[in-house]
Amino acid sequence: MIRVEMLSTGDEVLHGQIVDSNAAWLAEVLFQNGLPMTSRQTVGDDINELVTVLTERSKVADVLIVNGGLGPTSDDLSAQAAAKAAGVPLVMQEAWLAKMEAFFAGRGRKMADSNRKQAEIPAGAEMLDNPVGTACGFAMQLNRCWIFFTPGVPSEYKVMVEQQILPRLKARFSLPEPPVCLRMTTFGRGESDLASEIEPLPLPEGVVMGYRASMPIIELKLNGPASKLAEMEQFWQQVRDIVGESVIFEGTEILPEQVSRRLKEQNLRLAVSEQFTAGLLQWQLASAAAPLMAGNVLPARSETLSDIVARGSQLARGTGADLALVVGGMEEGILAFALHTPEGSWGQTVKFNVNRHGLKARQDVAAMMALNMLRRWMNGTEVTTGHGWIDVVGTLKA
């Protein structure tokens, strides 16, 4: 098995000032290419700590991908640390320096002297091209490990991984067939509730069942070798039967994208009115390029469930939309929703535990519930239904 590790650098990453989305992206890409990441680590902007970690990991890992620290400022230390760990000097790459100078000149600017360090890499290292930025990457051998150094800017980093690093790994190593990952996202049932029914099922040998709770959904994942796909699919059908109507999508197509696709397939146009979700629902739908006819965000006001349902019908008529989704205002933890369709209108009120869930969590759940009402109608299933840990306290069909 090839041991692939990642090292993220930077005080801002170490201290949680930014989220390390690069690590999550790399883990997924490596997994899809049959190189699941073995471990990952984060180090701050400290030259001695960087040298120590590079030296330690180079004696354990086959491949180490280092992210960050290739910029022009004094806290960008990756190239310097790599040279120190290898006991070699930094060497100016004149061709890259000329490319950088041309980059700035083409934008009517003079390159700052501090940028020159971005063209320096350890002696003997192989330069990695960066077609979208000024920091060149590089690869070097240290002890038993092949180490790749990449910029921290996500757009530059991803291009370098895809165009420079993955092809080199595939050329050097005989990669195994990528493992299989079956995914299912559920809404309305708790993690322990689902696990209590799934865990007794016998898993195929070498296959792992995983759970990920992320308000307001639970993601189920089944990981295993491609050779076990047939057995995994049989097991997965049993999981589907257990989850039942709580499943909202399989694979990686998120709910707004699924709803947008289904609306387009059925040639349906949607209007949205929001109070409590304050535009979140429209933002999610617009990001998925859903066919929105109209939308508004209204101030909170006291309305009955009948009022909310009537407002949905009025919104559809007034905008010429086929469908209308309404999210009302929240009063004492009570929130109302309405869905208007050519077949009629549905409304439901639910009760949140405001002491347990913060505002953002409640808004995320509310947007998910509204989209789920629409999804269920398009799937021909009951529109208003229970949601596990969220109490439905009233429903209306008009």
pLDDT in tens, 31-49: 888 888 999 999 999 999 9
At residue 392, the pLDDT reads 83
At residue 386, the pLDDT reads 61
Strand ranges of the sheet holding 208-214, from the earlier edge strand across to the other edge: 208-214, 217-224, 180-186, 247-250
Contact assessment for residue 126 and residue 140, using Cβ atoms and an 8 Å cutoff: yes
Partners of 223 in the beta sheet? 181, 208
pLDDT band at 318, cuts 50/70/90? very high
Q: Could you give the residue ranges of the DSSP H alpha helices within 40-153?
A: 47-58, 78-86, 94-105
Question: Helix or strand or coil: residue 126?
Answer: strand
Could you please state the CATH topology (level 3) that the domain comprising 4-172 is classified under.
Answer: Molybdenum Cofactor Biosythetic Enzyme; Chain A (3.40.980)
Tell me what the pLDDT averaged over the chain comes to. Answer: 92
First to last CA, the chain: 61
pLDDT in tens, 329-354: 998 889 999 999 999 999 999 988 77
Determine phi and psi for 123, rounding to 5 degrees.
-55, 135
CB crowding 286-309: b at 16 or more within 10 Å, else e: eebebbbbbbeeeeeeebebebbb
61-67 mean pLDDT: 98
pLDDT for residue 328 is more than 90: yes
Question: Could you count the other beta carbons within 10 Å of the beta carbon of residue 355?
Answer: 7
Q: What is the DSSP letter of 387?
A: B
pLDDT for residue 300 is more than 90: no
264-287 mean pLDDT: 96
Choose among 162, 142, 139, 217: nearest CA to 184.
Answer: 217
pLDDT in tens, 9-24: 999 999 999 999 999 9
At residue 389, the pLDDT reads 63
What is the largest distance, in Å, between two alpha-carbon atoms of the chain? Answer: 77
Pick the CATH number of 180-250 from 3.40.50.300, 3.20.10.10, 3.40.50.150, 3.30.70.2860: 3.30.70.2860
Architecture of domain 255-397: Alpha-Beta Complex (3.90)
Question: Where are the chain's structural domains?
Answer: 4-172, 180-250, 255-397
Contact assessment for residue 239 and residue 222, using Cβ atoms and an 8 Å cutoff: yes
At residue 22, the pLDDT reads 95
pLDDT in tens, 351-397: 887 777 788 888 998 999 999 999 999 988 888 766 666 778 888 89
At residue 156, the pLDDT reads 96
pLDDT in tens, 66-123: 999 999 999 999 999 999 999 999 999 999 999 999 999 999 999 999 999 999 999 9
Contact assessment for residue 52 and residue 79, using Cβ atoms and an 8 Å cutoff: no
pLDDT in tens, 166-193: 999 999 998 877 888 999 999 878 888 8
pLDDT in tens, 225-240: 889 999 999 999 999 9
- How buried is residue 166: exposed, middle or buried, by Cβ count under 10 Å (0-12/13-18/19+)? middle
At residue 321, the pLDDT reads 96
Q: State percent of the chain over pLDDT 70.
A: 98
147-161 mean pLDDT: 96
Partners of 41 in the beta sheet? 7
Choose among 350, 394, 398, 343: nearest CA to 372.
Answer: 350
